[in-house]
Amino acid sequence: MTRESLTSTALERAERHCEEQGSKLTDKRRQVLSGLLTSEKALSAYELSDFCRTELGHNILPMSVYRILDFLEEQNLVHRLNLANKYVACSHIACEHEHRLPQFLICTSCHRVEEVSLPSSVMSSIEGGAKTAGYHLVRNQLELECICSDCPA
């Protein structure tokens, strides 16, 4: 399956998903999501604005990109990586996979991102540690600084 067809499958899926939620995947939103799907790595809002313009010919100013990313994040179509201040398309848009505690492996060199799922035992252990210290987790997302196999150590 080519990357292009994966992307268009994901876009169709995203469109249906939005409709089910009673919201719309407008042209601009589709363009932003498509940019993130095409880029194959995490991008900042500004980088994504550039990418859409130079690679896809869509002119979307950063302010709009932010708003659209907020929307897409609410729809669980993209994830914001706080560690890197960048965004990635959810790797499960195009599959039936249930949404669970995502663990993001972020290559600090090339910004490639892998989204994997944690064993629930790990997360409950982390959650337990927090509870003991009097804290309550508000976001079950783990972000880890890594080097990927393509990048030199």
Q: Which residues would be at the binding site for a second copy (CB under 8 A)?
A: 82-83, 103, 105, 107-108, 114, 116, 118-119, 121-122, 125-126, 129-130, 132-139, 141-149, 153
Binding of DNA by 120 (CB under 7 A): no
Q: What's the CA gap between 63 and 77, in Å, rounded?
A: 19
Closest CB to DNA among 122 and 145? Answer: 145
In sequence order, the 6+-apart residues with CB closer than 8 A to the CB of 52 are 31, 32, 35, 58, 59, 60, 65
Q: Which residues within the stretch 79-98 sit at the binding site for DNA (CB under 7 A)?
A: 85-86
Q: How far apart (Å, rounded) are the C-alpha atoms in residues 131 and 124?
A: 10
Residue 126 is encoded by which pair of tokens?
């982390």
Which of a second copy, DNA, none has residue 47 at its interface (CB below 5 to 8 Å by kind)?
DNA
Stretch that binds DNA, among 6-14, 25-33, 99-107, 139-147 (CB under 7 A): 25-33
Please give the structure tokens belonging to residue 2. 């080519």
